[in-house]
Amino acid sequence: MVQRQVPNPRELLELMKFKKPELNGRKRRLDAALTIDDLRIIAKRRTPKAAFDYTDGAAEGELSLSRARQAFQDVEFHPGILKPAPDVDTSIEILGGPSALPFGIAPTGFTRLMQTEGEVAGAGAAAAAGIPFTLSTLGTTSIEGVRDATLSEPRGPVPGRNWFQLYVMRDREISYELARRAAAAGFDTLQFTVDTPVAGARLRDKRNGFSIPPQLTLGTIINAIPRPWWWYDFLTTPKLEFASLSTTGGTVGELLDAAMDPTISYDDLAVIRDIWPGKIVIKGVQNVEDSVRLRDAGVDGIVLSNHGGRQLDRAPIPFHLLPEVRQAVGDDFTVMIDTGIMNGADIVAAVALGADFTLIGRAYLYGLMAGGRQGVDRTIAILRSEIERTMRLLGVSSLAELEPGHVTQLTRLVPVTRAATEARVR
């Protein structure tokens, strides 16, 4: 028989402690976000459709993006047991400097359209966390503005670093001048982007009539009614424009087509290398052969990337390419990866399979749209927590202890061999 008794009020109070209400709405919603997907839900609720879809969408059927995310989900970890890891070291040396975490913020264009703090929020949060921030050629904050945002943060144990992403435009002098300005502003690494000879077919943007500045339609106005805070920020802050480019009219695709040049070649790389005094990495590499050729050409590293699925749909999955590329280029060549990262465990898996570093794009923008600078801080905090927890559960105390044996990439998409294809034809 269970012994019954009259409830003791004092004991009940010990069991029923009410949480103190959070009166700050922004802090309340960000504290409730436990994953990057949670931040995405908040961002979608608070951002007009055209701006959100520009961030969230990809090219054509969006297969490249969905496959990249699925690839990270199709991972099996293999933890070691009886390997205590009460403290984990997430710091790393990358491209001649430190980073407190094995990821940095990727270059994103039109960032102030998503939320008015834009690149200033991203650069400030990155500097506070001790990780690199990358400014896009199509950024909406100037090179000097990003530099100032980084310098304004209190100096921590790991200093903030700025990288610059460069498109080679039809008017080459524009690109050359941008590189010189970034170098003069103290940016230490250049991401030379090679996967955008023309703009991908971003169908969500076309359906939304997305352009800079935004074009108002009846649908735009109806969609904006429940989001007055976004319009208040947009209308009461400095004009939205490309801080590094003078032309601002037209759709995203039209602007990219005008700015990019399908004739970009190794000759352009040689010119940029002569101009740029710091480290240079090639962003948008999508096969093993190009990885080896670039290593032999003497660049400082590569970024395996399909541009977040925003260019060639059905492009290779960077995470799937990673092990083969690492084996082909050797251990002494810097290999970074982006596209599809939505969890700190994704980053741990990438490092285990040979990535020296990773870059986050959409994950950062979801945080920005959800809560400005505080939202970016929350993104970094979520990923940091997931990285540390995954490392502890695997039984590793440092990133250097991660190895391919910790991860199995489960098979979902299996290439059809030429022999099998020929057999079916016969």
Point out the residues that are catalytic: 307
Are 59 and 201 in contact by the 8 Å Cβ rule? The answer is yes
* Of 46, 56, 163, the residue nearest 115 (C-alpha): 46
* Of 269, 288, 49, 252, the residue nearest 136 (C-alpha): 252
The alpha-helical segments, DSSP class H, found in 130-282 are 143-151, 172-184, 203-208, 218-224, 228-235, 252-259, 266-275
Q: Quickly list DSSP for 99-151.
A: ESSSEEEPP-SSHHHHSTTHHHHHHHHHHHHT-EEEE-TT-SS-HHHHHHHHH
* Of 198, 167, 420, 181, the residue nearest 312 (C-alpha): 198
Break the chain down into helix, strand, coil percent, rounded to 5.
45, 15, 40
Classify residue 270 as exposed, middle or buried by CB count within 10 Å of its CB (0-12, 13-18, 19+): exposed
Query: Token digits for 92?
Result: 């790393």
HSE-CB at 39 with a 13 A cutoff on CA atoms is: 30
Query: Token digits for 323?
Result: 């092990």
Q: Is 395 helix (H, G, I), strand (E, B) or coil?
A: coil
Q: H or E element: which one contains 283?
A: strand 279-285
Look at the alpha carbons of 98, 100, 102, 107 in this order and tell me if their dihedral is positive or negative: negative
